[in-house]
Structure 1
Amino acid sequence: MNLQSFREAAWNGLWRQNTGLVQLLGLCPILAVSTSIVNAASLGLATVMVMAVSNLAVASLRNFIPYEIRIPVFILIIAALTTVVDLAFNAYFHDLYLVLGIFIPLIVTNCIVLARVEAYAAKNDPVSSTVDGIMMGLGLVCLLSVLGGLRELAGNGTLFSGIEMLFPGLSPISVFGPDYPGFLIGILPPGAFFTLACLIALSNVIRTRAAKRKSAAQGPMAPAADQPASAA
């Protein structure tokens, strides 16, 4: 995998084909867990680990998996890796594990993971498939972190609430002070829909403007060489 292919995979995962902003996959954990940066980013990183290793495993075994049973085999691989991640969270980050609850095991049914395994890893080499899994997962982490940060800031006036579950010596940042009354809808499920919709709209505006600038920079298309010139 050369540098150009790596850049293409990174750009696709982080922006062009972002799983949350463009493909709109895996909305259940995106909307349910994004009440704070810590919760959102933690689940996103757990998903990255499952996606990277499952892409590597499927790409390495793709020539040995019969086409007719590929989906059950893919799900079995994803389920085994998700179990490992689930047990690791329970062992090393038990408080965070209790907060995330059922959403770590639900990575098995996350359509983001299965979609990349089926669409990319089953057709490409192990190195590029692993990079694709990591970058697609990091795109999800970025979206979850921004969404969780905006909701936490609006709802509680803080950032990194729950950071002590990962790093016991740290404490959350109070942005608006202790007298901030809070905006309840920010941390409720409707707030997730509203915030995600605003982020999708913002990304669409950015993409549209970028396309217009690119079109303007290219200028008018030159006439084809074999096209006859118009009469004076």
Structure 2
Amino acid sequence: MATKSASDIIRDGLWSNNPALVQVLGLCPLLAVTSTVVNAIGLGLATLMVLMGSNLAVSLIRNFVGESVRLPAFVMIIASFVTCAELLMQAFTYELYQILGIFIPLIVTNCAILGRADAFASKNAPGPALLDGAMMGIGFLLVLIVLGGMRELVGQGSLFVDMNLLFGPTAADWVIRPFENYPDVLFMILPPGAFIGLGLLIALKNSIDHQLKERRKVNEPAPVSSGSKRVRVTGNVS
């Protein structure tokens, strides 16, 4: 299997093959915890750590694991990194860990992580595998943040509430309230709002892709006609 270039890996993770907007994987935690930005960042960072660690570990052992135990080995590696992320959150962001609850351990079952381990990390060298995990994780994190910001702003009329749970007491003043006396829109905070918000993001991405495709068609040079040409021969023929 030919190794992708670094630019292709970056483009795939952030846009072309984004795990949330294109692969549509890992939606359970994505839809469940994105009621606020801080929840989205907490889950996104944990997922990013697990993706990078598991991709690197799977790539390192790819030539030493037989086909029969390949997937169980991958699951054990992912579970180990999820445990590390869980312990770190318990130690440094315990209140946020309590809010996220079961969705941190459930990262083990995230199809996006197992899919990258099987489809990419097990077939590529550690460097590209680590980059792929980082880009897929960052792409997933960005979607979480945008969706969390959208739901928090529309649902509560604020942004960056409770950021001190993740970044410490200095982040308590990061709250932005652009509207005064804003009536809370409970619909956006509940699961139906998450589905609608994600659907809007997917539609926006598809629209941008369509516009870029049409623009490339316009900028492409017109094909040269292959019609026959009459050649005029001059000179004496003996």
Q: Deviations over 1:125-154 (max 9, x none)?
A: 001000000000000001000000000000
| 3-state SS, counterpart of residue 118 of structure 1 | helix
Partner of 1:134: 134
Are residue 100 (structure 1) and residue 100 (structure 2) matched? yes
Cα distance in 1, alignment partners of residues 229 and 69 from structure 2: 61
Distance 1:190 1:230, change over 3 A: farther
Identity %: 46
Partner of 1:170: 171
Deviation at 1:173, TM superposition (A): 1.8
User: Which of 153, 177, 186 is matched with 2:188 structurally?
Assistant: 186
Partner of 2:199: 197
Partner of 2:223: 221
Cα distance in 2, alignment partners of residues 68 and 222 from structure 1: 54
Partner of 1:91: 91
Q: Deviations over 1:32-67 (max 9, x none)?
A: 011111101110110010000100000000000001
Cα distance in 2, alignment partners of residues 118 and 170 from structure 1: 39
| 3-state SS, counterpart of residue 158 of structure 1 | coil
Cα distance in 2, alignment partners of residues 25 and 75 from structure 1: 17
Deviation at 1:68, TM superposition (A): 1.4
Deviation at 1:206, TM superposition (A): 0.4
| Structure 2: 5+ residue stretches without partners | 231-238
Alignment of 1:1-232 (within 5 A): 5-166=5-166, 167-171=168-172, 172-177=175-180, 179-223=181-225, 229=228
What amino acid sits opposite 1:129 in the alignment?
Answer: A
| 3-state SS, counterpart of residue 171 of structure 2 | coil
Q: Deviations over 1:50-88 (max 9, x none)?
A: 000100000000000001110000000000110011011
Quick check: which has more Rg, 1 or 2? 2
Cα distance in 1, alignment partners of residues 214 and 135 from structure 2: 27
What amino acid sits opposite 2:72 in the alignment?
Answer: P
| 3-state SS, counterpart of residue 169 of structure 2 | coil
Deviation at 1:169, TM superposition (A): 2.4
Cα distance in 1, alignment partners of residues 126 and 102 from structure 2: 30
Cα distance in 2, alignment partners of residues 74 and 114 from structure 1: 7
Deviation at 1:230, TM superposition (A): 8.6
Q: How many residues align?
A: 224
Distance 1:200 1:230, change over 3 A: farther
What amino acid sits opposite 1:77 in the alignment?
Answer: I
What amino acid sits opposite 1:68 in the alignment?
Answer: S
TM, length-normalised to structure 2 = 0.91
Q: Deviations over 1:79-135 (max 9, x none)?
A: 011001101101110010001100110010000100000000000000100000000
Q: Which 10-residue stretch deviates more, 159-168 or 64-73?
A: 159-168
Cα distance in 1, alignment partners of residues 19 and 38 from structure 2: 20
Cα distance in 2, alignment partners of residues 132 and 217 from structure 1: 31
| Structure 1: 5+ residue stretches without partners | none
